[in-house]
Amino acid sequence: MRILIVYQSHTGTVRTCVEQLSRELSRLDVDLCDLDERVLLPADYDAVILGGYIHADRLPKEMTRYIKAFSEDMLKRPLGLFLCCGYLDNYEDYVRKNFPAELVDHAFLTIPFGGELKPEKARGMDRLLLRIIRSTIQNAADHNEHEYTRVMPEILPENINRMASMLKGALQSIGRG
Ligand SMILES: Cc1cc2nc3c(=O)[nH]c(=O)nc-3n(C[C@H](O)[C@H](O)[C@H](O)COP(=O)(O)O)c2cc1C
């Protein structure tokens, strides 16, 4: 039983989530494919889980290219999709903008793994932007008009666990669990 987890992480959140997911799947033969380092092919695996971070509403372009190039192969096997983002209330919008509808329809699960805002892990403008987003959220309590309802994002371990158990269910239903 070979499982492929394809991901990209800029400041480490996605990587932390993927590490937790692979611990949950420790009884299976899991290969991690960080698209910043290498490309592994869905056709060589029994199931695929794919996800990454959102910057300016979008997945990184290598991941978008990967999705385009290997959609056909991903449609032929169990597929789980996830995103990490700072604004969880925009999650549905990010799914619509970044994953082709046919992949979402095919996936046994599409879910947010949460997000983190870690300026200390970023550089230059990215660091500045993360500081600004953090302080906007922290100052939200000062706004009486409920102008900001956003809360500091966190990783959602229960969603990662759900991905692991749904994958196991999907493998069983195709007789490979
Ligand atoms: C340059 C930059 C742009 C970002 N843009 C968005 C965005 O448009 N929407 C959002 O929800 N989060 C945004 N974020 C937050 C990231 O999606 C969030 O920090 C996520 O956890 C990053 O995952 P990573 O640590 O694996 O890179 C942005 C972060 C950076 C650094």
Any atom of ligand 1 within 6 Å of the Cβ of 129? yes
Residue nearest to atom 3 of ligand 1 (CA): 55
Any atom of ligand 1 within 6 Å of the Cβ of 125? no
Fold of 2-116+154-173: Rossmann fold (3.40.50)
The pTM assigned to this predicted structure is 0.95
pLDDT in tens, 105-121: 999 999 999 999 999 99
pLDDT in tens, 12-64: 999 999 999 999 999 999 999 999 999 999 999 999 999 999 999 999 999 99
**Domain-by-domain residue ranges, the chain?**
2-116+154-173, 117-152
- How far is it, in rounded angstroms, from Cα 155 to Cα 115? 5
- How far is it, in rounded angstroms, from Cα 39 to Cα 32? 10
| 126 Cβ contact list (under 8 Å, min separation 6) | 10, 11
Residue nearest to atom 19 of ligand 1 (CA): 117
What local confidence, expressed as pLDDT, does residue 112 receive? 98
**Alpha helix stretches (DSSP H) within the chain:** 13-24, 61-74, 91-98, 101-106, 124-138, 157-173
Residue 34, CA distances (Å) to 6, 121, 169 in order? 6, 18, 25
Report CA(153)–ligand 1 centroid distance (Å): 10
